[in-house]
Amino acid sequence: MADHTRARVLVASNRGPVSFSSAPDGSLTLKRGGGGLVSGLSAIEDPNTVWVCAALGEADRTAARRSPQGRLDQGGFDVGGQAVRMLDIDPEVFDQAYNGVANSTLWFLHHLLYNTPTAPVFDATAAAQWTAFESYNAAFAQALAAEAAPGAAVLVQDYHLTLVPALLRELRPDLRIGYFLHIPWAPADYFQLLPEELARAVLTGVLGADRAGFHTRRWAEAFADCCEQVLDAKIISGAGARNELSVSYQGRTTKLGVHALGADADFLRERAHRADVDERLAALREAVGGCRTIVRVDRTELSKNIVRGLQAYRHLLRSRPQWRERVVHIAFAYPSRQDLAEYRDYTAAVRRLSEEITEEFATDSWQPLILQVEDDFARSLAAYRLADVALVNPIRDGMNLVAKEVPVVSDAGCALVLSREAGAHAELADDALSINPYDVIGTAEALHRALTMPTAERAERTARLAAAATALPPQQWFLAQLAELSA
Ligand code: F6P
């Protein structure tokens, strides 16, 4: 008999579709979440899909406690027609799992961010963090096991939940389990900075899934290499045009899929022409006063390589003085992960270099750089519309949706300077100007080429970039994975 009280489709991610803030009087304000993962999954909007996520702060925890079993939709919160279960995980456990393991160890590993003479260090502190990470993953697995109907499909998202597929399979072998990684996968040599026991746990965690998805073939191959080298697993190359890889280990096979999340054209075009965006566009136009614009929009994130981007802009102004008083760099660097010292230091470095650039070049009538650090989506869209050049230069990035959103929203065409290390590069390379993200002089030269690109060429390239960027819109991206899991 069908079980109507439990879900047929479930999604799990650390950050959910909503978060809360609380006023001094105890009232809670709900805000829709941002970021690549949430944008991708927000297309679901199906009341029969249960989305399991973590409470990220005290206000979230209060909301979760006020809801029966953490079900926000049953606790009187308007979560946009979705069923959301928010897990109230012990704050200390959450902190060690999220900041200690997910955002320090795993994020640093997969984005190649370690300064290896001093980090990583796997000592007693790291071991305690790992234990917390196991409990945090177990809490997700238990919640999913409780919510899922027999044979349900569960789509587990991202590096925070890397252990969940295997834990969930143990609890509920009847489920169809998918895993999707939104960030890159480290090359095998680098991955093996992890102690062997942890490396094995990460890989076997993912291999608990029936299907594991990545944004690009490159990340899927890196994962397969790690499975081969660390676990001695067997890698099978599939026949057919897609040549899908599979990993066979201890009698089970996990298929690896490539699903390149695209930009949501309908949403973006509609949102980018609302009054609040028009207002901000007018303000930006006034601020740049007829100069050409180089735009970047990122979280202030080490992997986004903002400092080298600023160095490249400085080099452009030094080496090609003809651009002085003719170009403005608009850099939106929104706050992120300020609990981590590395991020606080990086934020300070971004501010310092911005000030140095202003000091070196500003004149009475020209500000070379506009740096904004308060998150404002409408203002980002305004900058996308205005941009002559978009700079997207990450050290590594699973996808990078900014590179895909700018061409969709651009008013008059925008040249895209794009790191070869962004996942988006796999689809956008033909019409972007590719850069090595470590090469500051090369990046400055690409900015110059972008600024001097003829208008017609820029418009043609932008149209092709927009078509490539929207090839797999979020809803299709999600439904394709669900269909493959159900097949
Ligand atoms: O997949 C990476 C990701 O989780 C994205 O959803 C988002 O861009 C970013 O990292 C957000 O990170 P956090 O949830 O730590 O703010």
pLDDT exceeds 60 at position 381:
yes
Q: Mean of the per-residue pLDDT values for the chain?
A: 95
CATH fold of 265-469 reads Rossmann fold (3.40.50)
Report how far ligand 1's centroid is from the alpha carbon of 188 (Å): 23
CA 368 to ligand 1 center in whole angstroms: 30
pLDDT classification of 302: cutoffs 50, 70, 90: very high
Q: What digits encode the pLDDT tens for the residues 236-293?
A: 998 777 789 999 999 999 999 999 999 999 999 999 999 999 999 999 999 999 999 9
Average pLDDT for 94-114: 98
Ligand 1 center–CA 219 separation, angstroms:
17
Q: Residue 296 corresponds to which amino acid?
A: R
Q: For atom 1 of ligand 1, which residue has the closest CA? A: 182
Measured from the Cα of 158, ligand 1's closest atom is 1
- The pick from 11, 13, 14, 15 for probing ligand 1's pocket by mutation, whose C-beta has the most ligand atoms within 8 angstroms, reads 15
Pocket lining: 316 vs ligand 1, CB cutoff 6 Å: no
pLDDT score, position 1: 43
Q: What is the ipTM of this complex?
A: 0.96
The atom of ligand 1 lying closest to the CA of 13 is 4
- The domains of the chain are located at 7-261+476-486, 265-469
Q: Ligand 1 atom 6: the closest Cα is on which residue?
A: 37
Q: What does the pLDDT read at residue 219?
A: 98
57 Cβ below 6 A of ligand 1 = no
| Cα separation, 183 vs 202, whole angstroms | 14
Give the amino acid at 316: L
CATH of 7-261+476-486, one of 3.40.50.2000, 3.40.50.300, 3.30.70.2860, 2.60.40.1840: 3.40.50.2000
* pLDDT level of residue 3 (50, 70, 90 thresholds): low
| Cα–ligand 1 centroid distance for 35 (angstroms) | 6
How many angstroms separate the alpha carbon of residue 336 from the centre of ligand 1? 9
Strand order in the sheet with 245-249: 83-87, 49-54, 7-12, 148-157, 176-180, 211-214, 252-258, 245-249, 234-237
Residue 294: which pLDDT band, with cuts at 50, 70 and 90?
very high
If you measure from the C-alpha of residue 159 to the centroid of ligand 1, how many angstroms do you get, rounded to a whole number? 10
CA distance 176 to 228: 24
Does the pLDDT of residue 2 top 90, yes or no?
Answer: no
> Does this chain's domain 7-261+476-486 share its CATH topology with 265-469?
yes
Report which of 410, 400, 317, 310 is spatially closest to residue 354, judged by C-alpha positions.
Answer: 310
The reply to whether ligand 1 has any atom less than 6 angstroms from the CB of 35 is: yes
CA angle, corner 234, sides to 231 and 238, nearest 5? 140
Q: Supply the residue whose CA is at minimum distance from atom 4 of ligand 1.
A: 37
Query: Which residue from 99, 172, 111, 107 is spatially nearest to 136, judged by alpha carbons?
Result: 99
Candidate from 66-80, 134-148, 316-330 with smallest mean pLDDT: 66-80
CA distance 152 to 155: 10
With b for 16 or more beta-carbon neighbours within 10 A and e for fewer, the 103-129 pattern comes to: bbbbbbbbbebeeeeeebeeeeebeeb
The answer to whether residue 174 scores a pLDDT higher than 50 is yes
123 pLDDT exceeds 70? yes
Which of 182, 343, 347, when mutated, tests ligand 1's pocket best, judged by the most ligand atoms within 8 Å of its CB? 182
- 158 CB under 6 A from ligand 1? yes
Percent of the chain with pLDDT over 70: 97
Residue 17 has pLDDT above 60, yes or no: yes
Tell me, using a 6 A CB cutoff, whether residue 160 lines ligand 1.
no
Kindly list the distances between the CA atom of residue 225 and the CA atoms of 29, 214, 230, in Å, as whole numbers in the listed order: 45, 14, 8
Model pLDDT for residues 25-36, shown as the tens digit of each residue: 989 999 987 655
Nearest ligand 1 atom, CA 336: 16
Please give the pLDDT value at position 440: 99
Q: Which atom of ligand 1 is nearest to the CA of 157?
A: 1
Tell me how far apart the alpha carbons of residues 195 and 192 are, in angstroms, rounded to a whole number: 7
